[in-house]
């Protein structure tokens, strides 16, 4: 699997010819993102910074769009979405979707624009034994300290904090890990064997 960060918040996952884009910003957003063809578009929040699914259509490739809780299967990728709370951009509560993906033999969890350190019991059961955890940092979301506390509790093999370089470094310090910085991650399940709470910046 190849994992890359596209601009500010968007994540691209590629396993063979299957591509998933997570939280692409729309054309109305001030955030930077990428433009590429994807089979799957995952949207955590109904907000211009997250729901630019048209940016994931390229040529004859148009993504299957998932924008809320539920269970899905697309091109052999199994996806579960769980509702949670977000205060992104304001204190007005919004519905955030946490996604759990089974892709390329790995369990990947993206917490979206989560604004609280706790998950529902249903979500906690689903996120057991995480290979890769993606956790977003920023204003009205989790602070580096809050995110680190939750990430350590969830016991992922590899954690990818998404945010500013400053927040990423604070997060790594809170976790007590030396971060591996790279433009993209190329991983197989065996690469994560024996790891616990390792941190990578992309």
pLDDT of the residue at 128: 87
Q: Give every CB contact of residue 105 below 8 A, 6+ residues apart in sequence.
A: 188, 189
Q: From CA 20, how far away is CA 38, in angstroms rounded? A: 5
**3-state SS, residue 76:** coil
**Are the beta carbons of 131 and 150 closer than 8 angstroms?**
no
Output the furthest CA–CA distance in the chain (Å, rounded): 45
Under the banding of pLDDT at 50, 70 and 90, the label for residue 183 is confident
Domain 2-201: which topology? Metallo-beta-lactamase; Chain A (3.60.15)
Task: Give pTM, 2 decimals.
Answer: 0.95
Q: From CA 97, how far away is CA 22, in angstroms rounded? A: 11
**What is the DSSP code (8-state) at residue 50?**
T
Number of CB atoms found within 10 A of residue 110's CB: 25
Q: From CA 153, how far away is CA 167, in angstroms rounded? A: 19
180-181 and 2-6: which strand pairing? unpaired
Under the banding of pLDDT at 50, 70 and 90, the label for residue 90 is confident
Q: What are 59's two structure tokens?
A: 């040529």
Q: Strands (DSSP E) along 39-172, which ranges?
A: 40-42, 64-66, 70-74, 77-86, 94-103, 106-110, 132-136, 158-162
111-160 tens-digit pLDDT = 999 998 889 899 999 988 999 999 999 888 999 999 999 999 999 999 99
Q: What are 50's two structure tokens?
A: 């997250």
With 90 as the cut, is the pLDDT of residue 30 above it?
Answer: yes
């Amino acid at each position: 699997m190849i994992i890359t960060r596209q601009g500010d918040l968007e994540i691209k996952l590629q396993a063979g010819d299957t591509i998933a884009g997570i939280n692409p910003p729309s054309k109305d957003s001030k955030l930077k993102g990428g433009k590429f063809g994807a089979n799957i578009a995952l949207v955590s929040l109904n907000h211009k910074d997250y729901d630019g699914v048209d940016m994931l259509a390229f040529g004859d490739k148009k993504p299957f769009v998932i924008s809320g809780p539920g269970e899905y299967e697309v091109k052999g990728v199994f996806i579960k979405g769980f509702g949670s709370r977000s205060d992104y951009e304001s204190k007005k509560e919004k519905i955030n979707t946490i996604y759990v993906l089974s892709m390329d033999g790995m369990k990947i969890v993206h917490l979206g624009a989560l604004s609280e350190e706790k998950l529902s019991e249903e979500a906690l059961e689903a996120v057991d034994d995480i290979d890769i955890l993606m956790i977003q940092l920023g204003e009205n979301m989790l602070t580096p300290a809050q995110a680190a506390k939750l990430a350590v509790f969830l016991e992922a093999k590899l954690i990818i904090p998404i945010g500013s370089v400053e927040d990423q470094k604070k997060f790594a310090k809170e976790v007590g890990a030396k971060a591996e910085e790279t433009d993209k991650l190329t991983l197989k399940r065996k690469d994560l064997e024996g790891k616990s709470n390792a941190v990578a910046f992309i």
